[in-house]
């Protein structure tokens, strides 16, 4: 935990969130709670099924299980506090609680950016290099890529969160957001924050714009390969293996890029809060639905697992 300046010691924060729209708070409570429960169930199913079904012991589902675990932890680091603030008139969070939320959510969000990029590379290898796919996506290499995602997320969080928490705030405690995140905390500063904004911009380039560029490159190469395929069946299969991931990438990077790339002066605080709510709470709920409903292998694995359970109960 970083050593904070004297003006920060012993203080808490007020996560104002949606308190300026009290008529929406109860509706949001129901929506967020429902989304959180679906996130827990859906992502847990993906992790369990990917582990238990031997047919899913492939690089795609290895990375998908990591993505589901990230989504589970990311929402859990945010939603309980959000639900408490929506339900209760008090919007307080301790300094320690805010720091933990900042470190954890930033690490997981950064790791998800890298994981989605790795999954795009996996799809490139599957479609564009099918004959060499097994040699390229060797289990040892897959574990190394997963480690890179986790280490890069942790490293980015340690650097950004530590620097942000050390900014003098001169007693400013009211965060116009529902979570402790870097841009919101920077706005509380009572000193010049140009250096912090440059550091945040550089981190955005490395962990948001660079992954987006690599994903676009991967899908550009995939599109070129698919257009050369003359077999309709093979063409549909290639699109099927990429469709779910491309939809998840669009949702996640679309929302996060608007928030972190847009200048503060040109984007309303209310819109920013709702977009953050979407990609931190709603998107992790949609990911399992996208990957199961659009994926015959995953649907088949779920059915086989349920069939085994029912057959075991009957016997």
Instruction: Give me the pLDDT at residue 269, please.
Output: 65
Mean pLDDT of 37-58: 90
Instruction: Give me the pLDDT at residue 153, please.
Output: 94
pLDDT at 15 over 80: yes
pLDDT at 8 over 70: no
Distance CA 15, CA 11 (A): 13
In percent, the amount of the chain with pLDDT more than 90 equals: 35
The answer to whether position 244 is within a domain reads yes
Contacts 24+ apart (CB under 8 A), 304-309: 304/53, 305/48, 305/49, 305/52, 305/53
Would you place residue 3 in the very low, low, confident or very high pLDDT band (cuts 50, 70, 90)? very low
Q: What does pLDDT average to over the chain?
A: 83
Instruction: Give me the pLDDT at residue 107, please.
Output: 95
Question: Which SS3 state, helix, strand or coil, does residue 14 take?
Answer: strand
Distance CA 39, CA 44 (A): 8
pLDDT at 265 over 60: no
Range of the domain at 212: 6-314
Distance CA 38, CA 31 (A): 11
Would you place residue 65 in the very low, low, confident or very high pLDDT band (cuts 50, 70, 90)? very high
Q: Are 120 and 219 in contact (CB under 8 A)?
A: yes
Instruction: Give me the pLDDT at residue 315, please.
Output: 52
The answer to whether position 149 is within a domain reads yes
Mean pLDDT of 249-257: 83
The answer to whether position 228 is within a domain reads yes
For residue 307, give the H/E element and its range.
Answer: helix 296-314
Dihedral in degrees, nearest 10, Cα atoms 284, 286, 288, 292: -170
The answer to whether position 1 is within a domain reads no
Mean pLDDT of 20-35: 88
Mean pLDDT of 7-13: 58
Q: Which residues of 80-107 are buried (b: 16+ CB within 10 A; e: fewer)?
A: ebbeebbeeeebebebeebbbbbbbbbb
- What's the token pair of residue 72? 């589970």
- Among 148-157, 190-199, 207-216, 265-274, where is mean pLDDT lowest? 265-274
Residues 160-198 have pLDDT tens digits of: 999 999 888 887 788 888 889 888 888 888 888 888 888
Domain of 201: which CATH number?
A: 1.20.1070.10
The number of folded domains in the chain is 1
Mean pLDDT of 57-67: 92
Distance CA 74, CA 125 (A): 28
The answer to whether position 99 is within a domain reads yes
Would you place residue 294 in the very low, low, confident or very high pLDDT band (cuts 50, 70, 90)? low
Residues 193-222 have pLDDT tens digits of: 888 888 888 888 888 889 999 999 999 998
In percent, the amount of the chain with pLDDT more than 70 equals: 87
């Amino acid at each position: 935990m970083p050593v904070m300046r004297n003006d920060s010691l012993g203080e808490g924060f007020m996560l104002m969130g949606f308190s300026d729209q009290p008529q929406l708070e109860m509706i949001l409570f129901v929506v967020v709670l429902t989304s959180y429960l679906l996130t827990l169930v859906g992502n847990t199913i993906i992790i369990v099924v990917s582990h238990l079904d031997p047919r899913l012991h492939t690089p795609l589902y290895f990375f998908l299980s990591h993505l589901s675990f990230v989504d589970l932890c990311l929402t859990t680091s945010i939603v309980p506090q959000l639900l408490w603030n929506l339900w209760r008139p008090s919007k307080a969070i301790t300094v320690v609680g805010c720091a933990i939320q900042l470190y954890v959510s930033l690490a997981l969000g950064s790791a998800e950016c890298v994981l989605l990029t790795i999954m795009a590379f996996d799809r490139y290898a599957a479609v564009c290099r099918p004959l060499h796919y097994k040699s390229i996506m060797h289990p040892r290499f897959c574990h190394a890529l997963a480690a890179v995602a986790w280490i890069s997320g942790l490293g980015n969080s340690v650097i950004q969160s530590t620097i942000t928490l050390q900014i003098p705030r001169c007693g400013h405690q009211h965060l116009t957001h529902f979570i402790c995140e870097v841009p919101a905390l920077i706005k509380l500063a009572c000193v010049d924050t140009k250096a912090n904004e440059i550091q945040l911009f550089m981190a955005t380039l490395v962990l948001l714009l660079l992954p987006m560029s690599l994903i676009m490159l991967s899908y550009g190469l995939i599109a070129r390969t698919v257009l050369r395929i003359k077999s309709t069946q093979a063409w549909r299969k290639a699109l099927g293996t990429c469709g779910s991931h491309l939809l998840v990438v669009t949702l996640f990077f679309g929302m996060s890029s608007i928030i972190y790339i847009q200048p503060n002066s040109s984007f309303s605080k209310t819109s920013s809060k709702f977009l953050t709510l979407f990609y931190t709470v709603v998107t992790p709920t949609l990911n399992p639905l996208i990957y199961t409903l659009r994926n015959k292998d995953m649907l088949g694995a779920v059915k086989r697992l349920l069939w085994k359970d029912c057959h075991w109960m009957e016997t």
